[in-house]
Amino acid sequence: MALDPSDPASLELSAAEMRAMCEAATARVLAHLANVERQPASGDVDVEALCRAMREPAPEQGRALEPLLDAFFDEWMPRSLTTNGPGYLAYVPGGGVFPAAIADFVADTTNRFTGARFAAPALVQLEANALDWLRAWMQLPAGARGIFTTGGSAATFNAVVCARERHLGAEIRRGVVYTSSQAHHSVFKSARLAGIAADRVRAIDVDESFRMRLDALESAIERDRRDGLSPFLVVSTAGTTNTGAVDPLDEIADLSAREGLWHHVDGAYGAFFHACEELRPLLRGLPRADSITLDPHKGLFLPYGTGALLVRDGAALRRAHDATAAYMPEPSPDDLYDPSRDGPDLSRGFPGFRVWLTIQTFGAARLRAAIAEKRALAIHAANALAASPHVVIDAPPQLSLFAFHVTWPGATQREEDAATRALIDRVAERGRVLLSGCTTGDRFLARVCVLSFRTRRAHVDACIEDVTAEAAHLAQL
Ligand SMILES: *Cc1c(COP(=O)(O)O)cnc(C)c1O
């Protein structure tokens, strides 16, 4: 950058300089994306020495952009999981659709204040529209409200606060939260952050399909009531991280209604499957939830940084967050969305715009087709692997995730666990796909989650080939 030396306090760049910066970044981004198919599914992330060597004080003088970008693309980024690549089948994949990046660029350079409606009402309305589209896909009523968050964890935290505010007040210490033993750890973390101590969170047992057991839930509630405690919240999961299990949402909604509990559904992985009408039966009861966590940066293929919370009783969301001050203008009319009244942030980025621009440019139909395709691909992979004599599918795909282990005649469970761990490593070494594992109950399982928009039939076929071959190899050792 050629900043003017005679004006040392200026941070303003010329149009030519900005264009050059854009071109430098664009060239590298496009080269990276053109090559993303051929990147190994995981770079070498065992680089503690490199990280220590990277420590440095802030530079006193500005440096040129291009060498910094080169270091990002050539040295640092490759030492990571290739989370935007087609072979990323580990954990719950994210996305990285391009229109969202353009939205961020436009939002960041125009830097309008969208934390409160008054400062950019029409822009805030774009975010309101995006939230309303999500609400409609989840079939929540028109009175529901929502917020965009930094992720699913933050959304669940806000949901716990809403439930706590409605049900507990000063009686916080008596409040009890119920979730399943398969729940995401963000549920336990959210409860703690919301002031609900660990001894007031129950991890309910699951059935053989890894779904929350209703009888166990019911008796835990009964026991807590007998002990003078105040059950107030059930957090069920629409697609667990371990095995993709969908809790019996409809039955839990019944029970919650009967018991007067708030029912939150953690749909960080699975909720967007409800956007596809033909898949709604898989998530039966979801629209009855009091609140839903969604993760546009998973199921809507956005880049990391955007979760969402929808709350059926919009007034409850607002009650939990609304606050004012003398320096703030008059609140908006109630029918108009005003972000800081419904969420914890005031100043923030403009998450609604990246969601809005993504949906506008692709259209809902194309996004739904992509979501449905991921499920079809997972079913294809699970069926193909089930045909291998060395693979046992422990959890068939309920949505687009399945879990399995390696087996052979006479194998003990310990040997199977070790072989399954080895399989994940050996498949990763082949460089085409990356799986991850989990321990559920007492068994170690490998898991495949198809959710990256770049994962298509050819990549899933590569996964089938590599897993089949490595399972056969491990079974013969
Ligand atoms: C990813 C995930 C979360 C956490 O969401 P973040 O966006 O990573 O904070 C919570 N629950 C489930 C089921 C998830 O898959």
Same-domain status, 349 and 210: yes
* Pairing of β 201-204 and β 175-180: parallel
Interval 405-427: pLDDT, tens = 999 999 999 999 999 999 999 99
Confirm whether 28 is domain-assigned: no
Containing structural domain, residue 371: 366-475
Interval 332-354: pLDDT, tens = 888 899 999 999 999 999 999 99
Q: Does the C-beta of 270 come closer than 6 Å to ligand 1? A: no
Atom of ligand 1 nearest to the CA of 304: 7
Burial class (CB in 10 A: 0-12, 13-18, 19+), 254: middle
Q: Does the C-beta of 83 come closer than 6 Å to ligand 1? A: no
CB-based contacts of 13, cutoff 8 Å, min separation 6: 1, 3, 21
Q: Which of 147, 176, 179 is nearest to 163 (CA)?
A: 176
Helix axes 214-226, 249-259, angle to 10 degrees: 20
Same-domain status, 339 and 455: no
Q: Which residues pair with 202 in a beta bridge?
A: 178
Q: Which of 450, 448, 453, 470 is nearest to 242 (CA)?
A: 448
Out of 364, 393, 410, a domain closes at: 364
Same-domain status, 325 and 383: no
Same-domain status, 134 and 232: yes
Confirm whether 140 is domain-assigned: yes
Mutate to test the pocket of ligand 1, among 83, 148, 153, 401 (most ligand atoms within 8 A of CB): 153
Strand order in the sheet with 307-311: 145-149, 307-311, 291-294, 262-267, 230-237, 175-180, 201-204
Q: Which residue lies with its CA nearest to atom 5 of ligand 1?
A: 152
Residue 53 alpha carbon to ligand 1 centre in Å: 32
CA dist 134 to 130, 286, 411, Å? 7, 13, 47
- pLDDT for 230 equals 98
pLDDT > 70? residue 360? yes
Confirm whether 375 is domain-assigned: yes
Confirm whether 52 is domain-assigned: no
Chain-centre distance for alpha carbon 242: 14
DSSP string, 43-83: -----HHHHHHT--PPPSS---HHHHHHHIIIIITTSSB-T
Q: Does the C-beta of 153 come closer than 6 Å to ligand 1? A: yes
Atom of ligand 1 nearest to the CA of 239: 13
Burial class (CB in 10 A: 0-12, 13-18, 19+), 88: buried
Same-domain status, 378 and 470: yes
Same-domain status, 210 and 117: yes
Q: Does the C-beta of 183 come closer than 6 Å to ligand 1? A: no
- pLDDT for 61 equals 95
* Number of domains the chain is built from: 2
Check: CB of residue 249 under 8 Å from CB of residue 184: no
| Gap between the Cα atoms of 376 and 100, Å rounded | 25
Confirm whether 68 is domain-assigned: no
Q: Does the C-beta of 400 come closer than 6 Å to ligand 1? A: no
Check: CB of residue 145 under 8 Å from CB of residue 341: no
Q: Give the DSSP letter of residue 23.
A: H
Q: Does the C-beta of 186 come closer than 6 Å to ligand 1? A: yes
Which CATH number covers residue 276?
Answer: 3.40.640.10
Q: Residue 3: pLDDT band by 50, 70, 90 thresholds? A: confident
E strand residue ranges, 106-174: 145-149
pLDDT > 80? residue 2? no
Residue 246 alpha carbon to ligand 1 centre in Å: 14
Same-domain status, 144 and 272: yes
- pLDDT for 477 equals 84
pTM of the predicted model, to two decimals?
0.98
- pLDDT for 70 equals 98
Helix (H) or strand (E) holding 203, with range, is: strand 201-204
Q: Residue 122: pLDDT band by 50, 70, 90 thresholds? A: very high
Q: Does the C-beta of 210 come closer than 6 Å to ligand 1? A: no
- Name the 3-class secondary structure at 385: helix
Atom of ligand 1 nearest to the CA of 270: 13
Atom of ligand 1 nearest to the CA of 154: 9
Confirm whether 153 is domain-assigned: yes
- pLDDT for 357 equals 98
Which CATH number covers residue 407?
Answer: 3.90.1150.170
Residue 269 alpha carbon to ligand 1 centre in Å: 6
Q: Which residues of 219-233 are buried (b: 16+ CB within 10 A; e: fewer)?
A: ebbeebeeeebbbbb
Q: What is the mean pLDDT of residues 436-465?
A: 97
- pLDDT for 213 equals 98
Interval 384-394: pLDDT, tens = 999 999 999 99
Chain-centre distance for alpha carbon 90: 13
Q: Does the C-beta of 237 come closer than 6 Å to ligand 1? A: yes
Q: Which amino acid, one-letter code, is at 460?
A: V
Out of 314, 332, 364, a domain closes at: 364
Out of 329, 345, 364, a domain closes at: 364
Same-domain status, 230 and 142: yes
User: Residues 355, 356, 361, CA angle at the centre, nearest 5°?
Assistant: 105
Interval 31-58: pLDDT, tens = 999 999 999 999 999 999 999 999 999 9
Same-domain status, 130 and 229: yes
What rounded mean pLDDT belongs to the chain?
97
Least confident span in 49-63, 129-143, 230-244, 328-342? 328-342
Same-domain status, 419 and 451: yes
Interval 151-210: pLDDT, tens = 999 999 999 999 999 999 888 999 999 999 999 999 999 999 999 999 999 999 999 999
| Gap between the Cα atoms of 314 and 183, Å rounded | 25
Tokens read off for 417:
């666990």
Confirm whether 314 is domain-assigned: yes
Residue 21 alpha carbon to ligand 1 centre in Å: 34
Q: What is the mean pLDDT of residues 131-137?
A: 98
| Gap between the Cα atoms of 326 and 324, Å rounded | 7
Give phi and psi for 16, each to the nearest 5.
Answer: -65, -40
CB-based contacts of 122, cutoff 8 Å, min separation 6: none
Same-domain status, 469 and 455: yes
Q: What is the mean pLDDT of residues 317-337?
A: 90
Q: Which of 473, 474, 416, 410 is nearest to 446 (CA)?
A: 416
- pLDDT for 329 equals 87
Q: Does the C-beta of 152 come closer than 6 Å to ligand 1? A: yes
Q: Does the C-beta of 92 come closer than 6 Å to ligand 1? A: yes
| Gap between the Cα atoms of 319 and 152, Å rounded | 21
Q: Which residues pair with 234 in a beta bridge?
A: 178, 263
Residue 146 alpha carbon to ligand 1 centre in Å: 17
Q: Does the C-beta of 236 come closer than 6 Å to ligand 1? A: no
Q: Does the C-beta of 455 come closer than 6 Å to ligand 1? A: no
Residue 77 alpha carbon to ligand 1 centre in Å: 23
Q: Residue 314: pLDDT band by 50, 70, 90 thresholds? A: very high
- pLDDT for 54 equals 96
Confirm whether 319 is domain-assigned: yes
Same-domain status, 217 and 309: yes
How many CA atoms lie less than 13 Å away from 59 in the CB half-sphere? 5
Residue 377 alpha carbon to ligand 1 centre in Å: 22
Q: Does the C-beta of 241 come closer than 6 Å to ligand 1? A: yes
Residue 301 alpha carbon to ligand 1 centre in Å: 14
Mutate to test the pocket of ligand 1, among 246, 266, 451 (most ligand atoms within 8 A of CB): 266
pLDDT > 80? residue 1? no
Q: Does the C-beta of 247 come closer than 6 Å to ligand 1? A: no
Q: Does the C-beta of 182 come closer than 6 Å to ligand 1? A: no
Q: Which residue lies with its CA nearest to atom 6 of ligand 1?
A: 152
